[in-house]
A and B are shown apart, each in its own frame.
Chain A
Amino acid sequence: MWQIALVLLVYLPLVIGIGHYLYHVTMQKKTWLDPVMDRIDTIIFKFSGVKRVDMTGKQYVLALILSNAIMVFIGYVILRIQSVLSFNPNDIGNMEATLSFNTIVSFITNTNLQHYSGESGLSYLAQMLVITFMMFTSAATGYAACMAFCRRLVAKTDTLGNFFVDIVRVTTRILLPISFIVAMILVVQGTPQTFNANETAQTIEGKMQDIALGPVASLESIKHVGTNGGGYYGANSTTPFENPTVISNIVEILSMMLLPGACVVAFGLMVASRRKKVLFGKQGMVIFAGMGILFLIGLVTCYMAERAGNPIIDTLGITQDLGSMEGKEMRFGVAQSALFTVVTTAFTTGTVNNMHDTLTPLGGMVAMFNMMLNVVFGGKGVGLMNMMMYVLLTIFIACLMIGRTPQFLGKKIEEKEMKLIALCILIHPAIILVFSAIAVTTVAGIAGITNPGAHGLSQVLYEYASSSANNGSGFEGLADNSTYWNVTTGLAMFFGRYLAIIIQLTIASLLATKLWHSETVGTLKTDNAMFTFMLVAVVLMIGALTFLPALALGPITEHLQIRS
C-alpha cells in the first residue's frame, strides 16, 4: 500500500513540471532546448516546405488525416514485405493481410492492440520503422489535436496553429528527449538494446534456452511515454526484458502518467494565463481533481480485489498471503501489478505488467470500466478532449437545473454544440456494445472466446472497450488473430479514434468563433470544488447507465460465482 502512495507522491511534482514545459512548447514560448531544436525544426520545415502559417479548424483536420493516411500506407507496405528488407537477423516472414491491417490501424490510432507476437512476428526493421515510428507520430497526432482543441477554447478566432508545426515540435521537443532518457534508465535496469540476433543458451541441465533480443529499450520507452502500450514481446511489460525490475516498473508507470496529466496542467495554464502567472491553473486543477478522484476509486477497488486473492485457490489449501498471483510476476507482486493495471487502463496506454485475463473479476472490471469511461486522464491529449466533452455536458446539465445560460470560458454553449457533444459521448459506448453484441451472436466471434461462462463475455467486452478507447491491452486469452477479430477490432479502433477527434475539433471551431461574454454573478462557476463533484457524478452516472447491464452479465456474475 505504501509503495503505491510513494509512486503517486513522486508523480505530482513531475506532472506539474512537465505541464509547464508542455505549455511553453505549445504556446511557442521560450524553452531551454530551443537553441538546438530550433535548428532541427528549421531543417525539417525547409525540407518539407512547411510555411508555419496558421490553419483553420477544417484545414487542421485535413492535414491530420492526410498525414496519418500516408503513414498507414508506408507502414502497411513495410509489414507486408519485411522478410526481404534488411535488419531481419531472425528471418521473420511477411505479415498476413488482415493482421497487417489490424496492426497498422492499431498503431496509427495509438491503440497498440496486438494480434501478433513481436518476437516471432516482426523483423527488427519493422519494430523500428513501423512500430517505434508510429508510436511517436500517433502520440504526437493525439497531442496536436488536443492542443488545437484547447487553443480554440481560449482563443477568439478559428485560424490558429499549424498541424505540421505542432506534430514536429511535440516530437522533437517532448517525445524524443524524454524517450531517450527513459530508454537509458531501462537499459541500466536490464532491458536489451542490440541489433544482434537472438541468443541460445546451454542450460546447466543440458538443455537449450532461446533468448529473444533486439532494439527493445528504444521501443519500450516511447511505448510508455506516448501512452502507446504495444510490447516488443508478446507478453508485453510482464516479460523480464521489457520490465526487468521494480524500478523499471515505476519508471514505466510514471512515464505513461506523465504526459496525459501534463496536458491537463498545460490546459489549466492556458486558461489562467489570460490573467496572471500561476503554478496550476484553477480550471485545470478542477479537471485534474475530477480525473484523480475517478482514478483513486478504481485503484483502491482493484488493489483490494487482487489482494483478497482467488477464493477457488483458497479451497485448494495453499496459502495466498501474496494475493492473486496467477498471471502476475513475483518481482512486482500485487501492489505494483494493481497500480500498473489501473494506470495503463486509465491513461489508456495498454501496456500490461500482469495478464489482465487472469485478474480477479472485480480487478478486471476496474480495468474495463476505466476504458469504458475513457476520461480518467485518458491517452495523450485525447483523454483531455474526451473529458472536456463531459465538462461541457456537466455545465449544460447544471445550468438547466439552476436556470442559467450555459457558458464555458466566456463562450455560450448552444444547440449545435450540444448535439455534437451528445453524439461524441455516445459513439464510444455504441462501438463497444454493438460490436460486442455482434460478436456474441456470430460463430466467428464466439470462436475467439477461450474462458467458459461469464468470463467469456468479459473477454469480448474488454477487447472492444480496449479497441474503441484506443487502449490496446487485452484479455489475452481471446484467440483474436482471425479475420473476424482483426477486421472488427480494426474498425472499432478506427472509428473510436477519428470520429471522436473530428467531432471534438468541430466543436472547438464552433466555440472559437463565438463572441466572448464576460462573467457575471449569474455565471455558473466552473473552477471550484462543487464543479469537480458535479463532473465526477455526471461521468459516473453516464458510465453506469450505459455499461452496468453488460458489466452485470460479465465480471459481476463471475464475482458472485466464485464467491458463492
Chain B
Amino acid sequence: MRGFFEYTKQALLVTFSLLVICGLIYPFAVTGVAQALFNHQANGSLIEADGKIVGSKNLGQAFTDPMYFSGRVSAVNYNVYSKEDTVPDVNGETTYGGVSSGTFNYAPSNPELKKRIEADIVKFLDANPGVKRAQIPADLMTASGSGLDPHISIEAAYIQVKRVAQSSGLSVDEVNEIVLANTESRVLGVLGEDKINVLGANLDIYQKMKEK
C-alpha cells in the first residue's frame, strides 16, 4: 500500500512536469522561434492588396464572377461568406456557420455524388461554351478533402481561359501568361502534381484590370 501512494505521488508530479514542458514551454518555444525567424508563414502567409488582407497564399477561395478562375468544389464554401450569410433565417440558422473544414464525404457508390457532379458539369458547360465534356479534368468537378484546396490542375485552368478573357476584357494571351506565372511544377520534377494557384492567378487578373 505504501508503494501505491508513493507511485501516485510520483505519477502526479511527473505528469505536472510534463504538462509544463510539453503543454506550455514547447509550444511557446516553437511560437517564439517561428515568429522571430519565419514571421510571414507563422502568421498564415497572408496576402495584402490595396492595404487590406485579401486572403492567404495557402487557402483557396470561392470565386463566382466569370472573370475569375473558379477553383475546386468545396463543402464549406472555403469559409467565404457575405454579410447576409451571417443573418439568421426563420429557424435561427445561418448560411455560414462559422469557420470549418472538410468535404461532403460521399462514398464512390453514393448516388448523391453522381448527382452533384452531373449538376456541376452542366453548370460549367453553360458558363464555358465551346468546352467539351471530355475536356473537363476530374479535379475541377470533385470536392477537395479540406474544402480549402488552393489549387487546380493545369488543364482545369486552360479550359477556363477563354471565358476569363472574355469576361474580364483581357486578351487570351494575357490570361495565358497569368496561368503560366501561377503554375507550380512538381518539386524536383517528380514530387506532387503540376498545378496552379487559383487565388494567385485571380489576384493577377484583378491587378491587371485595375491598370487598364
Contacts and interface: CB of A to CB of B under 8 A. Distances in A.
B103 A201 contact: no
B90 interface: no
Contact of B57 (A190, A239, A458): A190
Contact of A234 (B102, B195, B202): B102
Interface stretch (A127-135, A374-382, A439-447, A522-530): A127-135
Contacts of A187: 30, 34, 38, 41-42
B130 interface: no
Contacts of A244: 45, 58
Given A204-B49, A204-B206, A244-B58, A451 B41 contact: no
A455 B110 contact: yes
Contact of A312 (B24, B26, B60, B114): B114
Which DSSP category, helix, strand, loop or mixed, fits chain B's interface?
A: mixed
Nearest to A71: B15
A238 B134 contact: no
Contacts of A96: none
Interface stretch (A176-184, A276-284, A294-302, A539-547): A176-184
Contact of A66 (B11, B30, B101, B103): B11
Contacts of A520: none
Interface string A221-240: 01000000000011100111
Interface in A186-240: 187-196, 198-213, 215, 217-219, 222, 233-235, 238-240
A332 B192 CA distance: 5
A361 B31 contact: no
Interface string A439-483: 000000000001111110010000000000000000111000000
B38 A171 contact: no
B192 A333 contact: yes
B35 interface: yes
Given A318-B121, A326-B108, A240 B139 contact: no
A319 B14 contact: no
Interface in B181-206: 184, 186-187, 190-193, 195, 202-203, 206
Interface stretch (A46-54, A153-161, A397-405, A420-428): A46-54
Nearest to B30: A218
B146 A49 contact: no
A176 B191 contact: no
Contact of B65 (A205, A215, A451): A205
Contact of A164 (B14, B78, B192): B14
A215 B42 CA distance: 9
Contact of B134 (A183, A319, A327): A319
Contact of A50 (B10, B64, B81): B10
Given A218-B26, A476-B105, A562-B108, A211 B14 contact: no
B14 A183 contact: no
B134 A212 contact: no
A240 B141 CA distance: 19
A77 interface: no
A168 B38 contact: no
B190 A3 contact: yes
A454 B16 CA distance: 47
A43 to B, nearest CB: 8
A240 B58 contact: yes
A84 interface: no
A202 B48 CA distance: 10
A330 B54 contact: no
Interface in A287-327: 309-310, 312-313, 316-327
B18 A137 contact: yes
A330 B153 contact: yes
Contact of A313 (B26, B60, B117, B191): B117
A273 interface: no
Contacts of A313: 113-114, 117, 138, 141-142
Nearest to A66: B11
A532 interface: no
A517 interface: no
B61 A250 contact: no
B41 A309 contact: no
Contacts of A246: 186-187, 191-192
A67 interface: yes
B9 interface: yes
Contacts of B149: 240, 329-331
A44 interface: yes
A411 interface: no
A509 to B, nearest CB: 17
B18 A171 contact: yes
A129 B202 CA distance: 40
B172 interface: no
Contacts of A71: 15
A287 B153 CA distance: 41
A128 B27 contact: yes
B11 A203 contact: no
Contacts of A310: 108
A211 B18 contact: no
A31 interface: no
A319 B137 contact: yes
A353 interface: yes
A176 B193 contact: no
B7 A199 contact: no
5 contacts: A117-B100, A211-B55, A235-B147, A239-B146, A321-B138
Given A6-B191, A167-B14, A313-B138, 17 more contacts: A3-B192, A63-B10, A70-B8, A120-B100, A128-B27, A133-B22, A164-B14, A238-B145, A246-B191, A321-B138, A329-B145, A332-B193, A333-B193, A358-B103, A358-B107, A451-B105, A476-B105
Interface of A: 2-3, 6, 44, 47-50, 59, 62-63, 66-67, 70-71, 74, 117, 119-120, 128-130, 132-133, 135-137, 164, 167-168, 171-172, 176, 179-180, 183-184, 187-196, 198-213, 215, 217-219, 222, 233-235, 238-241, 244-247, 249-250, 309-310, 312-313, 316-333, 336, 352-355, 357-361, 450-455, 458, 475-477, 558, 561-562
Top 5 closest pairs, chain A to chain B, by CB: A477-B105, A246-B192, A238-B145, A48-B13, A133-B23
Interface of B: 3-4, 7-19, 21-24, 26-27, 29-31, 33-35, 38, 41-46, 49, 52-65, 68, 72, 78-83, 98-111, 113-114, 117-118, 121, 133-139, 141-153, 155, 184, 186-187, 190-193, 195, 202-203, 206
